[in-house]
Amino acid sequence: MRETEATTEARRAMEVCNACRYCEGFCAVFPAMTMRREFSTGDLSYIANLCHNCKGCYYACQYAPPHPFNINVPQVLAQVRADTYEEYAWPGPLAGLFRRNGTVVSLVSAAGIALVLLLTMALVDHRVLYQPQTGPGAFYRVIPWWLMTALAGGTFLFSILALAMGFRNFWRDTGGRADELTRGRPLAVALHDILTLKNLGGGGGGCNDRDEAFSQARRRFHHAMFYGFLLCFASTSTATVYDHFLGMEAPYAFLSLPVQLGFWGGIGMVVGTAGLIWTKIVSDPAPAARNLLGADYALLVLLLLAASTGLLLLALRDTGAMGVLLAVHLGIILALFLVIPYSKMVHGVYRSAALLRHALERHPTPPPPGTAPSDRALGSAA
């Protein structure tokens, strides 16, 4: 990774923290920091993505502003994270999209909705768009199956590929090897930390969501959004199996598995994203990286729109509003898949990779059997 203003400032902060070590028990960042005496840009990339932005170390720090040392760890690590998103983006020429993220998300969303509406109007009798459609195959009478599959499937596969390439770039730059990715115990530890958001626990009582008071609100809203997203994904996957392997065409009954997964997933996403937006609005701006807030809000609003238009479509699917709502919902999903690799969503990939690297550091590969103790010491020093 290249040296930037943020990495230089983060290195200075880490050197002060390494001498102080007051926050050692707060999160994974400080134990990872104490394992190093010098910080390469790859180390700073790893440490920045290990930070969950709980802000606990800012309120605990005796060197935070107005102290002349001006230590603001959450803010500087957020800046480094933003640099890493751009650095590891794939394909490289699209990395610049991170710089105007709010604008990009708005434009892609508008273009996605317009594209699906225009294609729908061009391909089907426009009266179908405004007339109630019911029974098996009702959605495909509005948007042909092949168009829905091509738009959603194509953008989804592109998104997965771009995220996988970003992961590879991060892993290599932070010193990772391919064979480390298959070690069972560190993988299990990292998975536990990812699924429980352990590092949002701060010093034990939760995050400093709004100010120096501890709270679990951000962690709970993030859980609601994350598991809601997974349920929506499970809903789409189940519906695909129903359609392609069981010959059952959507729309399905309200109590069917795909609709129940989508309904509760949608509720979780609405509650989670609305809660996270509220948390950002009321929080103390001092430890935040203000120049990144626009991108954060843009993504949360896009996720909120994806979930709320899905729920609205479910509520009004037997009425004449279904056609337009389906086109708008599909347009937003299309935009979401396209911007995922160039939005804050990538933090999920890099933070997970950083947690795996941290688990590997805590559970190093045992030396080969028969290695003499002195050789082991030399091996670990090397």
Please report, as ranges, the residues that interact with ligand SF4 according to CB under 6 A: 16-17, 20-23, 26-27, 29, 51-57, 60-63, 71, 73-74, 199, 202
The answer to whether the beta carbons of residues 23 and 17 sit under 8 Å apart is: yes
Report, in Å, the least distance between residue 81 CB and ligand SF4: 10
Report, in Å, the least distance between residue 378 CB and ligand SF4: 32
Instruction: Give the chain's largest Cα–Cα span.
Output: 81
| Residue 32 or 274 with smaller CB distance to ligand SF4 | 32
Distance in angstroms (rounded) separating the CA atoms of residues 101 and 343 = 7
Report, in Å, the least distance between residue 86 CB and ligand SF4: 20
| Residue 19 or 253 with smaller CB distance to ligand SF4 | 19
Q: H or E element: which one contains 295? A: helix 293-315
Report, in Å, the least distance between residue 217 CB and ligand SF4: 15
CA 179-183-186 angle, to 5 degrees, is 125
Q: H or E element: which one contains 309? A: helix 293-315
| Residue 26 or 88 with smaller CB distance to ligand SF4 | 26
Cα separation values, 353 from 99, 103, 173, 222, Å: 23, 28, 12, 18
Report, in Å, the least distance between residue 20 CB and ligand SF4: 3
| Residue 55 or 317 with smaller CB distance to ligand SF4 | 55
Report, in Å, the least distance between residue 141 CB and ligand SF4: 50
Distance in angstroms (rounded) separating the CA atoms of residues 281 and 283 = 6
Chain mean position to CA 265: 16
| Residue 55 or 347 with smaller CB distance to ligand SF4 | 55
| Residue 26 or 170 with smaller CB distance to ligand SF4 | 26
Residue 294 corresponds to which amino acid?
G
The answer to whether the beta carbons of residues 369 and 186 sit under 8 Å apart is: no
